Amino acid sequence: MKKIAKTLRLHYNITVIVHAVKNESFGMQVTVTGLLTGGDIIAQLKGKDLGERLFISASIFKEFEDVTLDDITIGQMSHELGVPCEAVPPDGYEWITMLAKEII
């Protein structure tokens, strides 16, 4: 993700800040995005400058639902963090394509 952020800044003058969130709910050794909880995201990002909006990998949400493993919705995350949150495809190419459509 950091490489993608650098490319966006260099080629499109878009600033993207990548925030790493540690999985404290299931243990720091767990690095699978799909096992990240909304509570961990809120606890670690609350109070930080998150810019205009926060992109969150769609893979953290339960299949066919809009809640995380700890039953937090993207709306609740937006409210707690004070910035609009948006679920984005976990595939970097899809994410870049989505951003490119906004700037073209």
Query: Could you tell me the pTM of the whole model?
Result: 0.83
Tell me which residue of 91, 90, 94, 58 sits closest to 77, measured CA to CA: 58
Asked whether the beta carbons of 99 and 14 are under 8 A apart, the reply is yes
Q: Is 85 exposed, middle or buried (0-12, 13-18, 19+ CB in 10 A)?
A: buried
Residues 6+ apart with CB under 8 A from 84: 52, 53, 54, 78
pLDDT > 90 in the chain, percent: 48
Which residue ranges make up each domain of the chain? 2-94
For 55-88, the pLDDT digits (tens) are 999 999 998 888 999 999 999 999 999 999 999 8
For 22-64, the pLDDT digits (tens) are 999 998 888 888 899 999 999 999 999 999 889 999 999 998 8
Asked whether the beta carbons of 41 and 21 are under 8 A apart, the reply is yes
Q: Which residue has the higher pLDDT, 4 or 37?
A: 37
